[in-house]
Amino acid sequence: MKDNKITTVDADNLRESIIKTLAVIARINEKEINDSILIKDELGIDSIMSLEIIANIEKRYNIQINEEDTMNITTVGEFIDYVIHIINKK
Amino acid sequence: MLKKYGIRKGFIAALFLNNSIDFISIFFALIEIGATPIPVNMAFRAIELDEIFSNADPHAVITEKDHLKVIMKYLSGRIVVERNGGNFLMRDSGAGGFGRGPAEVDHSIATINYTYRGYGYPLGAMVPHIQYLFGSELLQEAVRLDAGERLLVVLPMPHIFTLIGCIFLPLIYGITPVISRSRNPLRLFETVHAYQIQNILAVPELYELLYKFRDSAGDCTPLNAFLSGGSVMPDEMYGRLVDEFDVDLIHGYGLTEFTPVSRNIRGDIRPGTIGMVCDGLEYKIDPCDEFGFGEILIRTENMTKAYYRRSAESRDVFQNGWFRTGDIGRVEDGHLIFKREKKKTRKVKGNMVDLLEVQRILMEYPKMRNAIIECNDSILSAAVEIDSARNFDSEVLSIKKFLEDRIAGYKIPKIFSRI
């Protein structure tokens, strides 16, 4: 098992950080964002915004996200879980 | 291969293909056969596709396999060729268009490209072969790319700007297009480095994204020029991009019916304008207000002159050889300044949105009594009057879900309010 698996504390920090990123790009108060919020329909994230979010997260966590993998992700929670999965796979 | 599948001279073929070498091969193979390609925007959904399939009634459809679910209901009776991982195969779709005669498309027409004029539905611009050649020549006069240079292709190929700038111009002038599968700014920088890219063709919104990630750009020395079009380039962004990337930023203006109408020329770039009106184009501003602003009209033998099977709309737009662009601007020292659209269309991040079309589909939502669509700062909003006692946030979610399969995603309003 690799050492870079993220802990519960890390996961909480990561969750908070991703929500902050989404809030800034969607121009919405981060308190209004929770795991069940729909990224496209409720946050109004369009294709250019999603590129910005992905690039931000890739930079911060030194990972690569396959854009096609994210096509079927609908909620904030699913997106966070996906990022955790990618970090754990590193 | 296409002939083997039954595609013949005079046939119309709708293309639903991602950016790829195959897109280019199929596009030119169809033209070589004497068939007419329709390069279709892959974001289109039911409302746009209903119109395109009913208006053009294509004999054939050439599509990515994973796009079949979007277009399945239109395939019956047509020749259907699917692309899967770079391989092509014919799909059994019933009669397969074999019994049908050729379409009534003049041999001077290269393609039918669907665009908007604010009528509430797309119109198939019949783009002649000469428009692609002349447009490429006019663009090259401005950008002056040298044979052997590399050009990064980021925008979807069905757009007229991409077709001319990234396919015809490179083939004619010996430029190498490098097709990026990703628009992620970090991947684009990696591609610039890996392939020593000198030029990028994109919309202002993508350049803005590159600017936001400028600290990840690395050594961008090879970059020479950003070719920009599709929507307005704010002056402030122009200055930032030039300073940061040390490139010639060549911004221009064009429409499906003719591209480019105007473009800045290397060595004579005037920020705040959409460049000099191209040589060989006649233009006038008509009617013109006291400040010199009015509708931009252009005329050349080499432009689109009608929309497919839309004679009334064609008569409105093409008058006495002039093409009414539906855009308001003025000319200052030969440079065109764009003010706004007169027609009921707006640009949202480089994509054209017909406000009436969005309203039309919203009015199909159950219990919708009225809908007013507006676009400010490239953000679409809808004010709706609806007979429903439901919580408005839930209603908005349900409206967005309703729109999802019916209209291109970029046309779904971001902001909803009650009338």
Q: What is the pLDDT of residues B95-115, one digit of tens each?
A: 556 678 899 999 999 999 999
- pLDDT over 80 at A7, yes or no: no
Q: What is the mean pLDDT of residues A11-19?
A: 90
Measured in angstroms, the CA of A54 and the nearest CA of chain B are apart by 8
CB B264 within 8 A of CB B247: no
Q: Which residue has the tokens 């991982």?
A: B85
The rounded mean pLDDT for chain B is 95
Domains held by chain B: number: 3
Domains held by chain A: number: 1
- CATH number for the domain spanning B38: value is 3.40.50.980
> pLDDT tier at B249 (50, 70, 90 boundaries)?
very high
One domain for residues B134 and B199? yes
Q: Is the dihedral of CA B267, B273, B276, B281 positive or negative?
A: positive
Token pair of B107, please?
A: 């041999």
- pLDDT over 50 at A1, yes or no: no
Measured in angstroms, the CA of A76 and the nearest CA of chain B are apart by 15
Q: Count contacts between A and B (CB, < 8 Å).
A: 44
Assign B341 to helix, strand or coil: strand
Which helix (H) or strand (E) segment is B374 a member of? strand B368-376
CB contact under 8 A, B410 and A46: yes
Domain membership of residue B4 (yes or no) is: no
Q: What percent of chain B has pLDDT above 90?
A: 89
CB B285 within 8 A of CB B297: yes
Q: Domain range spanning residue A43?
A: 8-89
Q: Which of B341, B376, B402 is the last residue of a domain?
A: B341
CB contact under 8 A, A51 and B184: yes
One domain for residues B335 and B349? no
Q: What is the mean pLDDT of residues B89-94?
A: 76
Which residues of chain B from 133 to 152 reach within 8 Å of chain A, CB to CB? none
One domain for residues B176 and B262? yes
The reported pLDDT for the residue numbered B90 is 87
Q: What is the pLDDT of residues B275-289, one digit of tens each?
A: 999 999 999 999 999
- pLDDT over 80 at A6, yes or no: no
Q: Which of B341, B375, B395 is the last residue of a domain?
A: B341
Please tell me if residue B397 touches chain A, with a CB cutoff of 8 Å: yes
In this structure, what are the phi and psi dihedrals at residue B330, rounded to the nearest 5 degrees?
-145, 165
Q: What is the pLDDT of residues B44-82, one digit of tens each?
A: 999 999 999 999 999 999 999 999 999 999 999 999 999
* Nearest CB to A59 within list B186, B205, B401: B186
Q: Which residues of B touch A41 (CB under 8 A)?
A: 397, 400-401
CB contact under 8 A, A41 and B184: no
Please tell me if residue B341 touches chain A, with a CB cutoff of 8 Å: no
The reported pLDDT for the residue numbered B377 is 86
Domain membership of residue A3 (yes or no) is: no
Domain membership of residue A39 (yes or no) is: yes
Domain membership of residue A2 (yes or no) is: no
Please tell me if residue B401 touches chain A, with a CB cutoff of 8 Å: yes
Which residue in chain A has the smallest CA separation from B210? A52
* Nearest CB to A41 within list B186, B205, B401: B401
The reported pLDDT for the residue numbered B100 is 83
Q: What is the mean pLDDT of residues B180-184?
A: 93
Q: Which residue has the tokens 């200052």?
A: B332
The reported pLDDT for the residue numbered B215 is 95
Q: How far apart are CA B115 and CA B336, in angstroms?
A: 22
Reading phi first (left if > 0) and then psi (alpha if -120 to 50, else beta), residue B258 is in beta
Q: What is the mean pLDDT of residues B257-271?
A: 92
- CATH number for the domain spanning B145: value is 3.40.50.12780
Domain membership of residue B1 (yes or no) is: no
Please tell me if residue B185 touches chain A, with a CB cutoff of 8 Å: yes
The reported pLDDT for the residue numbered B354 is 98
Please tell me if residue B394 touches chain A, with a CB cutoff of 8 Å: no
CB contact under 8 A, B184 and A40: no
Domain membership of residue A65 (yes or no) is: yes
Q: What is the mean pLDDT of residues B121-130?
A: 98
CB contact under 8 A, B409 and A40: yes
- pLDDT over 60 at B387, yes or no: yes
One domain for residues B172 and B228? yes
Domain membership of residue A1 (yes or no) is: no
One domain for residues B337 and B386? no
CB contact under 8 A, A41 and B397: yes
One domain for residues B367 and B410? yes
* Cis status of the peptide bond prior to B413, with omega within 30 of 0: no
One domain for residues B297 and B362? no
Domain membership of residue B333 (yes or no) is: yes
Please tell me if residue A86 touches chain B, with a CB cutoff of 8 Å: no
The reported pLDDT for the residue numbered B24 is 97
Q: What is the pLDDT of residues B361-379, one digit of tens each?
A: 999 999 999 999 999 988 9
Outline where DSSP puts E strands in B180-321: 199-202, 225-228, 248-255, 258-263, 276-277, 282-288, 294-299, 318-319
The reported pLDDT for the residue numbered A9 is 63
Domain membership of residue B226 (yes or no) is: yes
Measured in angstroms, the CA of B19 and the nearest CA of chain A are apart by 15
One domain for residues B311 and B385? no
Q: What is the mean pLDDT of residues B157-179?
A: 97
Domain membership of residue A15 (yes or no) is: yes
Measured in angstroms, the CA of B147 and the nearest CA of chain A are apart by 32
Q: How far apart are CA B404 and CA B393, in angstroms?
A: 17
The reported pLDDT for the residue numbered B358 is 98
One domain for residues B85 and B216? no
Q: What is the pLDDT of residues A22-51, one digit of tens each?
A: 999 998 899 989 999 999 888 889 889 999
- pLDDT over 80 at B260, yes or no: yes
Which residues of chain A from 11 to 50 reach within 8 Å of chain B, CB to CB? 38, 40-42, 44, 46-48
Q: What is the mean pLDDT of residues B383-401?
A: 93
One domain for residues B285 and B406? no
- Angle (CA) B414 B353 B281, round 5°: 145
Domain membership of residue A32 (yes or no) is: yes
CB contact under 8 A, A54 and B414: no
Q: How far apart are CA B28 and CA B163, in angstroms?
A: 11
- CATH number for the domain spanning A60: value is 1.10.1200.10
Q: What is the pLDDT of residues A46-70, one digit of tens each?
A: 889 999 999 999 999 999 999 888 8
Domain membership of residue B368 (yes or no) is: yes
Q: What is the pLDDT of residues B303-326, one digit of tens each?
A: 999 999 999 999 999 999 999 999
One domain for residues B333 and B354? no
CB contact under 8 A, B184 and A54: yes
Q: Domain range spanning residue B413?
A: 345-418
One domain for residues B69 and B99? yes
Q: Which of B315, B341, B367 is the last residue of a domain?
A: B341
Measured in angstroms, the CA of B246 and the nearest CA of chain A are apart by 23
The reported pLDDT for the residue numbered B96 is 59
The reported pLDDT for the residue numbered A2 is 47
CB burial class (10 A; 0-12, 13-18, 19+) of residue B11? buried
